[in-house]
Structure 1
Amino acid sequence: MPSSRSHTRPIALAVWLIIAGVIGWFAAFELTVEKFVLLADPTATASCDFSVLVQCGKNLESWQGSVFGFPNPVLGLAGWMAPLVVGFAILARARFAPWFWWFFWGGFLFAFGFVCWLIYQSIFNLGTLCPWCMVTWAVTIPSFYAVTLHVLRSGQVPVPASVRSVADRLMAWVPLMAILSYATILLIAQVQLDAIVNIWNSIAG
Structure 2
Amino acid sequence: MSTAASRTRPTGLAVWLVIAGVVGWWAAFQLTVEKFAALAEPGTGASCDFSLLVQCTKNLDSWQGSVFGFPNPILGLTGWMAPIVVGMALVAGARFARWFWWCFWAGIAFAFGFVVWLISQSIFDLGTLCPWCMVTWAVTIPTFYAVTVHLFRSGQVTASERVRSLAGRSMAWVPLATIVSYAIVILLAQVRLNAIPNIWQTIVG
Question: TM range, normalised to the smaller chain?
Answer: over 0.9
Corresponding residue for 1:14? Answer: 14
Secondary structure at the aligned position of 2:180 is classed as helix
What is the aligned partner in structure 2 of residue 4 from structure 1?
A: 4
User: Residues 11 and 90 of structure 2 are in contact (CA less than 8 Å); yes or no, is this contact kept in structure 1?
Assistant: yes
CA distances 1:64-112 after superposition (whole Å, capped 9, x unpaired):
0000000000000000000000000001111100000000000010000
The secondary structure found in structure 2 opposite 1:157 is: coil
Report if aligned partners of 1:8, 1:95 keep a CA contact under 8 Å in 2. no
Whole-Å separation in 2 of the counterparts to 1:7 and 1:83: 20
Corresponding residue number in structure 2 for 1:83 = 83
Q: Distance in 1 between matches of 2:109 and 2:8?
A: 22
Letter in 2 for 1:57: T
Matched-pair identity in %: 71
Q: Secondary structure at the match of 2:70?
A: coil
Query: Which residue matches 2:42?
Result: 42
Query: Pairwise mapping of residues 46-85 of structure 1 onto structure 2 (< 5 A)?
Result: 46-85=46-85
TM-score normalized by structure 2?
Answer: 0.97
Does the CA contact (< 8 Å) of 1:32 and 1:73 recur in 2? yes
Q: Segments of 4+ in structure 1 off by > 6 A?
A: none
Match of 2:168 in 1: 168
- Give the secondary-structure state (helix, strand or coil) at the position aligned to 1:19: helix
One-letter identity of the residue aligned with 2:180: L
Alpha-carbon RMSD across the aligned residues, in angstroms, is: 1.3
Alignment of 1:133-172 (within 5 A): 133-172=133-172
Aligned mates of 1:121, 1:190 — CA distance in 2? 15
Letter matched to residue 120 of structure 1? S
Q: CA deviation at 1:160?
A: 2.4
**Contact 1:17 / 1:143 at 8 angstroms: preserved in 2?**
yes
In structure 1, stretches of 5+ residues that fail to align are none
CA–CA distance in structure 1, aligned partners of residues 107 and 7 of structure 2: 20
Shift of 1:173: 1.1
Instruction: Report SS of the residue matched to 2:50.
Output: coil
Provide the TM-score with structure 1 as the length reference: 0.97
Name the CA shift for 1:166/1:5 in 2 (closer, same or farther; >3 Å): closer
User: Is 2:200 the counterpart of 1:200?
Assistant: yes
Q: 1:6 & 1:197 partners in 2: Cα distance?
A: 47
CA positional deviation for 1:6: 6.0
Task: Note the C-alpha offset of 1:161.
Answer: 2.3
Tell me which residue corresponds to 2:121.
Answer: 121
8 Å contact 1:101–1:156 — kept in the other structure?
Answer: yes
Contact 1:27-1:133 at 8 Å conserved across structures: yes
Point out where structure 2 has 5 or more consecutive residues left out of the alignment.
none
Deviations 1:129-148 (A, max 9, x none): 00000000000000000000
Equivalent in the alignment of 2:131: 131
